[in-house]
C-alpha cells in the first residue's frame, strides 16, 4: 500500500489522470448544457450522468495510460535520467495533452452534428480522410481550435512538468516498478473482463446514455464492431424458425414463393399486362432531404417549391422512412431491398459481389443499368459495390462539364446535366435504362454556384442546402421534357436519409421520415399513399407499377398492393441498434441480446415502454437474422 501511495504522490501519472478526468467532466457538462437540455435531459439526472461518466472515464484512462505506464516502468534508470530522454518525454507529454484537448474539441463538434459520442460515423471519418477532412476544414473552425489547444496544452505542461521531471530523476527501484506493473496489468485485466463501453448505460433516454459514455471508448467499440456477427450479439431464433417466420410473412404479399423450404426467399412475379410496361426508370436520391424540410409534408418555410409542385402530379408516399442515417444505408435499401443489418451497410462489407439487386432484375428485362454520382465513388465503397453488381458507374472522374465543385463533388446542376447527356447516349442506342443518381450538394460545407437568387454562395447552412437541392431538381425537370426519352420515363425522387438524426429516443422516428415521390406525367394519376413505407419497398412497388416479370428474394413489398389499414413493417437502424416499426409500436434489438418494445406517440415524439408482442418480436428478429445469414453465406441471390 505504501508503494502505491508513494507512486501516486511522486509520479506524473496522477497529474495527467487529473487533467484527463477534469477535461472529460467539463466536456460532459458542456455537452449537456449545449445539447442535452433541448433533448429533455433533466438537471436532476446530472449526478448519475456525471458519476457513471467519471467511472467510464477512469476505466478508459487505464487503457490510454497503459503505453506510457509500461514504457516508464520498464525503462532502465540510466536512460530515464539522461537530459536527452527528459526532453524527449517532455515533448511526448505535450503531444499527449494536445491530443487529449483536441479530441475533446472534436467530440463537441461531432456531438453537435450527430447528437452522439464518437460512433460508426467517426470510423468512416478516419477511413475516408480526403472527403471527410476536407469537409471538416471547410465547415469548422479548425485553425482557432488548433491554436487554442496548442496554448492550453503548454499551460498544462508547465503545471505538471515538475512531477514528470522528479520521476525521471529519481525513478522507483526496479523491483518496486515490477510490482507496480503487475498491479496495473491485473487492474487492466479486470476492466477488460468486467467492463464495456455501455455497461453503465442506465437510461431509456438515448442522449443521457450518450452523455454518460466515454467518447474514446465509444470510438474503439465502433472499430471493434464495424462488421458485427448478428448471431453473436443480437436476439435470435432457431435457424429454421427464423426462415419459416420470414417466409410466412413474405407469402402474405404478392408473388409466389419458391416451393423449396429452408433458406430460399425467392418470389416469382408474373408479368402484369395492366402495368405501365417497359419504361425507363430514373431514381434520384437526394442527399439529406428529410420530410421535415418539404412543403408537401407540412413544412411552411417554402424551401422546396419544385418538389411540392411535382408532388401534385405524382404518387406521393406520406409516411416513408429511411432505413438508417447514412447514404450507404439508403442505397443498400433502394438497390437491394435489403434490411439494415447491424452495424455497417453491405456496401461496405466484404462479399457484396453478385447479390440480388433491383439492377439485376432490370438487366434480366433488357435494361442498361447505371449508377451516377457527383463525387468520387471510391467513397463508401460505392463504385466497387455497383461495378461488382452489374452497374455501369459514372462518377466525378467522368463529369467533364464542371461549373462548380467542392470537397464532396460537383454541384447537383452539373450532375443532372451529365445525367441528361448520359441518357441521350443510351436512348440513341435504343436501350431502355435504369439509373440511380446520387446527389451531394445538400451537405456541409454548404457551398453552391454563385448568382442563384436566394441561395448564398456559402454560409447559408442547411436551409440553403435544401433550397439549392430543390433548385437543381427544378432545372433538371425543366430540361428533361426536351429530351426524346422523357415521355417514356418513370422518375423516383427519394432521400437517402434525414439531415440530422437527434433526440432523446433510442430510434428518433420523426428524423427517419423522408420524401418519396413517383413521377411519370401522363402515365400515373396523382395520389397520396398513407401506408407506412420503407426504402426497401421502393423496388417492389415500382416493379409492380411497371408490371415487369421477375424473380428475387427482396424483403420489401409492393406498397400499392397492401390493403388499406393493414399493418406493414418499417425497418430502421441507428448506430448499433436495429428496429421494426409497425402499427404504432417500435421493437428495438440491441447488442448483448437486448430487446425492448415501445409505443410511439408521434404528437409528443415519445416512446413509452410496453410489453412485447411475441409475433412482432419474432418477425423483427427474423428480418435481421435471416438477412445477415443470407448475406454472410453468399445466398442473397
Is the pLDDT assigned to residue 4 strictly greater than 50?
Answer: no
pTM (2 decimals)?
0.79
C-alpha cell at 199: 455497461
Average pLDDT over residues 602-611: 84
Distance CA 427, CA 367 (A): 11
What letter does residue 332 receive in the DSSP assignment?
A: H
Q: Which residue has the higher pLDDT, 286 or 70?
A: 286
- At residue 507, the pLDDT reads 78
- At residue 37, the pLDDT reads 63
Which run of H or of E encompasses 348? none
C-alpha cell at 236: 435470435
Q: Are 401 and 417 in contact (CB under 8 A)?
A: yes
Distance CA 633, CA 502 (A): 35
C-alpha cell at 92: 511526448
C-alpha cell at 390: 452489374
Hey, is 428 helix, strand or coil? helix
Among residues 289, 283, 299, the alpha carbon closest in space to that of 334 is found at 283
- At residue 3, the pLDDT reads 46
- At residue 321, the pLDDT reads 97
- At residue 169, the pLDDT reads 60
The percent of residues above 90 in pLDDT, for the chain, comes to: 47
C-alpha cell at 327: 447514404
Per residue in 482-495, pLDDT (tens digit) is 999 999 999 999 99
Distance CA 219, CA 449 (A): 36
DSSP for 273-300 reads: TTS--S-EEEEEEETT--GGG-GGGT--
CA of 373: how far to CAs of 117, 438, 556, in Å? 30, 5, 25
- At residue 57, the pLDDT reads 84
Contacts of 621 (CB under 8 A, 6+ apart): 234, 235, 236, 237, 242, 245, 589
* Most confident option among 53-57, 60-64, 367-371, 462-466: 367-371
Q: Which residue has the higher pLDDT, 579 or 253?
A: 579
Is the pLDDT assigned to residue 171 strictly greater than 70?
Answer: no
Distance CA 506, CA 203 (A): 10
Average pLDDT over residues 344-368: 94
* Most confident option among 48-57, 101-110, 225-234, 509-518: 509-518
Q: Are 557 and 568 in contact (CB under 8 A)?
A: yes
Q: Are 530 and 508 in contact (CB under 8 A)?
A: no
Cis peptide before 343 (omega within 30 of 0): yes
Q: Are 499 and 514 in contact (CB under 8 A)?
A: no
Is the pLDDT assigned to residue 8 strictly greater than 60?
Answer: no
Distance CA 573, CA 588 (A): 9
| Domain ranges for the chain | 2-224, 267-562
Distance CA 264, CA 538 (A): 22
Phi, psi dihedral angles at 421 (to 5 degrees):
-65, -40
- At residue 10, the pLDDT reads 47
Dihedral sign for Cα atoms in the order 53, 54, 58, 59: negative
Is the pLDDT assigned to residue 178 strictly greater than 70?
Answer: yes
Hey, is 491 helix, strand or coil? strand
Strand partners, 434: 281, 369
Average pLDDT over the chain, rounded to an integer: 86
CA of 408: how far to CAs of 78, 136, 177, 332, 514, in Å? 53, 11, 52, 20, 22
C-alpha cell at 277: 410496361
Contacts by 603-607, CB closer than 8 A, 24 or more apart: 605/503, 605/505, 605/508, 605/509, 605/510, 606/505, 607/204, 607/505, 607/506, 607/507
Per residue in 28-66, pLDDT (tens digit) is 888 888 876 655 677 778 888 888 888 888 888 888 888
Is the pLDDT assigned to residue 232 strictly greater than 90?
Answer: no
The mean-pLDDT minimum among 217-231, 284-298, 460-474 falls in: 217-231
Per residue in 395-453, pLDDT (tens digit) is 999 998 999 988 888 999 999 999 999 999 999 999 899 999 999 998 888 899 999 99
The total number of residues shown for the chain amounts to 637
CA of 592: how far to CAs of 195, 196, 233, 520, in Å? 13, 11, 5, 47
Distance CA 591, CA 563 (A): 35
Q: What is the CATH number of domain 267-562?
A: 3.40.720.10
* Most confident option among 32-46, 358-372, 570-584: 358-372
Per residue in 276-319, pLDDT (tens digit) is 999 999 999 999 999 999 999 999 999 999 999 999 999 999 99
Which run of H or of E encompasses 100? helix 83-114
The mean-pLDDT minimum among 122-136, 190-204, 412-426, 535-549 falls in: 122-136
Among residues 353, 291, 287, 356, the alpha carbon closest in space to that of 326 is found at 287
Distance CA 445, CA 440 (A): 11
CA of 445: how far to CAs of 108, 407, 624, in Å? 18, 9, 35
Distance CA 330, CA 336 (A): 10
Categorize the per-residue pLDDT at 360 as very low, low, confident or very high, splitting at 50, 70 and 90: very high
Is the pLDDT assigned to residue 9 strictly greater than 60?
Answer: no
Q: Are 438 and 331 in contact (CB under 8 A)?
A: yes
Amino acid at each position: 500500500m505504501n508503494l502505491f501511495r508513494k507512486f501516486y504522490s511522486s509520479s506524473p501519472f496522477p497529474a495527467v489522470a487529473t487533467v484527463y478526468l477534469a477535461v472529460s467532466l467539463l466536456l460532459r457538462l458542456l455537452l449537456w448544457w449545449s445539447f442535452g437540455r433541448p433533448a429533455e435531459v433533466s438537471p436532476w439526472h446530472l449526478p448519475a450522468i456525471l458519476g457513471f461518466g467519471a467511472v467510464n472515464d477512469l476505466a478508459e484512462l487505464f487503457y490510454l495510460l497503459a503505453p506510457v505506464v509500461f514504457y516508464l516502468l520498464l525503462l532502465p534508470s540510466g536512460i530515464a535520467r539522461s537530459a536527452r530522454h527528459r526532453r524527449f518525454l517532455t515533448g511526448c507529454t505535450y503531444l499527449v495533452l494536445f491530443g487529449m484537448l483536441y479530441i475533446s474539441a472534436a467530440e463537441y463538434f461531432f456531438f453537435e452534428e450527430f447528437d452522439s459520442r464518437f460512433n460508426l460515423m467517426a470510423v468512416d471519418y478516419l477511413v475516408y480522410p480526403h472527403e471527410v477532412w476536407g469537409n471538416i476544414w471547410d465547415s469548422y473552425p479548425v485553425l482557432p481550435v488548433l491554436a487554442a489547444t496548442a496554448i492550453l496544452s503548454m499551460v498544462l505542461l508547465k503545471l505538471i512538468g515538475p512531477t514528470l521531471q522528479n520521476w525521471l530523476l529519481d525513478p522507483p527501484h526496479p523491483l518496486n516498478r515490477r510490482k507496480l506493473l503487475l498491479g496495473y496489468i491485473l487492474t487492466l485485466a479486470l476492466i477488460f473482463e468486467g467492463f464495456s463501453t455501455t455497461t453503465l448505460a442506465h437510461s431509456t433516454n438515448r442522449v443521457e446514455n450518450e452523455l454518460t459514455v466515454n467518447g474514446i471508448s465509444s470510438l474503439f467499440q465502433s472499430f471493434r464492431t464495424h462488421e458485427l456477427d448478428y448471431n453473436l450479439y443480437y436476439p435470435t431464433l432457431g435457424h429454421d424458425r427464423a426462415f419459416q417466420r420470414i417466409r410466412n410473412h413474405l407469402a402474405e404479399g404478392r408473388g409466389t414463393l419458391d416451393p423449396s423450404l429452408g433458406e430460399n426467399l425467392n418470389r416469382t412475379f408474373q408479368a402484369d399486362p395492366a402495368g405501365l410496361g417497359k419504361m425507363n426508370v430514373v431514381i434520384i436520391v437526394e442527399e439529406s432531404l428529410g420530410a421535415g424540410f418539404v412543403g408537401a409534408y407540412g413544412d411552411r418555410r417554402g424551401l422546396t417549391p419544385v418538389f411540392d409542385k411535382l408532388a401534385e402530379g405524382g404518387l406521393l408516399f406520406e409516411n416513408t422512412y429511411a432505413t438508417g442515417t447514412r447514404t450507404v444505408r439508403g442505397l443498400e435499401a433502394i438497390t437491394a431491398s435489403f434490411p439494415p443489418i447491424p452495424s455497417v451497410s453491405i456496401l461496405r462489407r466484404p462479399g457484396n459481389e453478385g447479390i440480388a439487386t433491383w439492377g439485376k432484375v432490370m438487366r434480366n428485362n433488357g435494361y442498361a443499368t447505371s449508377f451516377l454520382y457527383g463525387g468520387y465513388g471510391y467513397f463508401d465503397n460505392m463504385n466497387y459495390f455497383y461495378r461488382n453488381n452489374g452497374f455501369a458507374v459514372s462518377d466525378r472522374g467522368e463529369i467533364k462539364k464542371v461549373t462548380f465543385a467542392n470537397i464532396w463533388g460537383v454541384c447537383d446542376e452539373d450532375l443532372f446535366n451529365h445525367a441528361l447527356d448520359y441518357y441521350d447516349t443510351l436512348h440513341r442506342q435504343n436501350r431502355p435504362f435504369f439509373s440511380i443518381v446520387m446527389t451531394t450538394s445538400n451537405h456541409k460545407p454548404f457551398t453552391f454556384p454563385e448568382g442563384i437568387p436566394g441561395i448564398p454562395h456559402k454560409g447559408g447552412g442547411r436551409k440553403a442546402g435544401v433550397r439549392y437541392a430543390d433548385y437543381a431538381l427544378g432545372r433538371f425537370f425543366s430540361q428533361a421534357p426536351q429530351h426524346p426519352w422523357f415521355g417514356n420515363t418513370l422518375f423516383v425522387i427519394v432521400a437517402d436519409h434525414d439531415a440530422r438524426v437527434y433526440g432523446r429516443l433510442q430510434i428518433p422516428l420523426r428524423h427517419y421520415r423522408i420524401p418519396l415521390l413517383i413521377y411519370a406525367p401522363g402515365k400515373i394519376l396523382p395520389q397520396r399513399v398513407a401506408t407506412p413505407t420503407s426504402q426497401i419497398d421502393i423496388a417492389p412497388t415500382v416493379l409492380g407499377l411497371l408490371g415487369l416479370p421477375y424473380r428475387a428474394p427482396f424483403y420489401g413489398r409492393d406498397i400499392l398492393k397492401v390493403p388499406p389499414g393493414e399493418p406493414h413493417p418499417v425497418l430502421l437502424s441507428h448506430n448499433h441498434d436495429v428496429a421494426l416499426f409497425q402499427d404504432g409500436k417500435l421493437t428495438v434489438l440491441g447488442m448483448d441480446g437486448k430487446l425492448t418494445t415501445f409505443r410511439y406517440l408521434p404528437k409528443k415524439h415519445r416512446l413509452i415502454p410496453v410489453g412485447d408482442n411475441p409475433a412482432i418480436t419474432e418477425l423483427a428478429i427474423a428480418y435481421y437474422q435471416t438477412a445477415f445469414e443470407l448475406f454472410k453465406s453468399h445466398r442473397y441471390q
